[in-house]
Amino acid sequence: MNAVAELPPKSFAVKPKLDESGTPIGELLEVSMGPHHPSTHGVFRMDVSLDGETVVKLKPVFGYLHRNHEKIGENISYLASMPYTDRLDYFCSMTNNWAYALTIEKLAGLAVPERAEYIRVIMAELTRLQNHTCLIGFFVQDMGALGTPMMYAFREREKILDLFESVSGARMMCNYMRFGGVRVDVNDEWLAQTKKVVGDYGNFLDEFEAFLTQNEILLARTQFVGVLPRDLAVSASVTGPMLRASGVNYDLRKVDKYGIYSRFDFQVPVGEHGDVYDRYMMRVLEMRESIKILQQALRDIPAGPVMDPKAKLRGFRPKPGEAYGRVEAPKGELGFYIISDGSPNPYRYRVRPPSFVNLTILEDMCLGHRIADAVVILGSVDIVLGEVDR
Amino acid sequence: MLGEQIIKGMAVTARNFFGSYVSKNRLTTVQYPEERLVPKANTRQFPMLVFDGDAEKGLRCVACTICEKECPPKCIYIVKSKDKKPDYKGQPQLYPAVFDIDVSVCMSCQICVEVCPFESIKMNTEFELATDDRFEGLLLHKNELAKSNEYYHKLHPDDAKESDAVLTAEKSRAEAKAKTAAEAKAKAAATAPAAK
């Protein structure tokens, strides 16, 4: 991040022209961006008030993809909610599965075998790699790099999706984890293939970074754009790479040490400016750390069973109680809050989606910037509407 | 120098463009439908019903309706039969008079396969199911869902071997149980007159 430090820290935010009483001169133009605008990453709408090209007011409107996930979860069995969690954040089905399984394991007191814990870490970190790669692809596409970087990102993602498909049966809707373990074991051939993909990933990142990190256009479009101050990020309970880009060292893998993350040697990258460029850089650096975790996990994975023998599929009824389980999903803290009343269905089923909470801060980041920057800022938040609307 | 990084970026693009003519790693797409990728080992699309031998008589399904209850989007519809027929163990069992799966609703989650205690419902890998019939075309009936065990062996050889082993073990256990029961009966029959 040398390029950031060399530039003087100045704000590109533009104040609207005001008369003596403090009201803007001339009329404001209201633009409804979305819900089918290509830059809104799904069906998301921004009601923007513009003074010239400067954003003076922004209201995020969502709910177009609402499909009653939480209410459905209260009316079907615990196991039947698992495939629905795939469809929350459809880029990261493995981490969604993990968060839900973790909650139910807390609720029912199931222990996860050693090998299954390693498989879960491998799957979660592969998910992080492919999510961040794709995010960067989308995000530079929002800036006008039409197609090319995104195609490279999708080419690499395809290799990881192939790994997912050969073990779980589906590329995106994996439905792989179960309460007390994982559904099927991985074989040695799969592990060897994963080692190869992970080994090559560093080279791809080098190439991707040669393409983007020092690129003048990317620097001009992202540095000091959409600055999220540290205090605001904390008080708005923003999590994930966005929070860390604002300079807060908070990663659930280090804080909670869920699963077996305490065993791995990795660092948490922290930004200093909280602008869009820092958020881009956070993702690149996190991918490099993910590769380190993957290499350690693939080296140490033990043999053994992958399911807790106490876990059962049919007639699963946890004892009455409540549990909140959370994981560090690629987008931030993903939590599930479940209350059980001893029946086959949860009494209350609540999801704490990271991209929904991260989106609440959008107006504060966009005010005073050009409308073209609002698109870039939205891209750097990393939203998936399946999770925002649920 | 201004523009240096843009030239570097162009070099990456050029390397990928010309590399796609020589390297499989840089050109990963194939010309579907003329070329096809080999399906992955565990790949899954929509459920099917496995039978041994005859498609009607050998159907493993006993219409227990566990899959119907567990199915998250409720795409399975089963009507139990009135009469019974012998299953692979020779015991009289119900069979599904109607077994429909609406694959336009099915989300390929494989939960029906996991909860099935009779190794009956399995995942097919067929995916080219597009049809111009809006109403009945994607509602698969029992005769369309029924697939032979040999077909299942071709799709998922390892899983098929495992499920065959489970069935054989159950069958031998049932036979052993029947044998001991018959022996006990014979013994009881032999001792009964003596007691008289």
The ipTM is 0.80
CB contact under 8 A, B5 and A215: yes
pLDDT digits 0-9 by tens, B43-101: 888 898 888 877 777 788 888 888 888 888 889 998 888 888 777 777 778 888 888 89
Q: How many residues does chain B have?
A: 196
Q: A residues 171-200 near B, CB within 8 Å? A: 173, 175, 183-184
List the structure tokens of A170. 């589906």
Give the three-class secondary structure for A61.
Answer: strand
Residue with tokens 């499920």: B163
CA distances from A42 to A1, A39, A309, A387, B143 (A): 31, 8, 41, 11, 40
Domain ranges of chain B: 47-179
Nearest-by-Cβ selection for B108 from A80, A84, A173: A173
List the structure tokens of A292. 């380190």
pTM score of the predicted model: 0.85
Q: How many residues does chain A have?
A: 390
Residue of A nearest to B37 (CA): A162
Residue B85 pairs with which residues in a beta bridge? Answer: B93
Whether A232 has its CB under 8 Å from any CB of chain B: the answer is no
Residue-by-residue pLDDT tens, chain A, 390 positions? 444 444 444 455 556 667 777 776 667 788 888 777 766 677 888 888 888 888 888 888 888 888 888 899 898 888 888 899 988 888 889 999 999 999 999 888 888 898 999 999 999 999 999 999 988 888 888 888 777 888 888 888 888 998 999 898 888 888 898 888 888 888 888 999 999 999 989 888 888 887 788 777 888 888 888 888 888 889 989 998 999 999 899 988 888 888 888 888 888 999 888 889 999 999 999 999 999 999 999 988 888 888 887 777 777 888 898 999 999 999 989 999 999 988 888 999 999 999 889 888 888 888 888 888 888 888 888 888 888 888
What's the confidence (pLDDT) of residue A118? Answer: 92
CB A352 within 8 A of CB A335: yes
CB A363 within 8 A of CB A58: yes
Which helix (H) or strand (E) covers residue A119, if one does? helix A114-142
Looking at residue A39, what DSSP letter applies?
G
CATH topology of domain B47-179: Alpha-Beta Plaits (3.30.70)
What's the confidence (pLDDT) of residue A290? Answer: 92
Whether A76 has its CB under 8 Å from any CB of chain B: the answer is yes
Residue A31 pairs with which residues in a beta bridge? Answer: A48
Distance separating alpha carbons of residues B15 and A363, to the nearest angstrom: 40
Distance separating alpha carbons of residues A108 and A104, to the nearest angstrom: 6
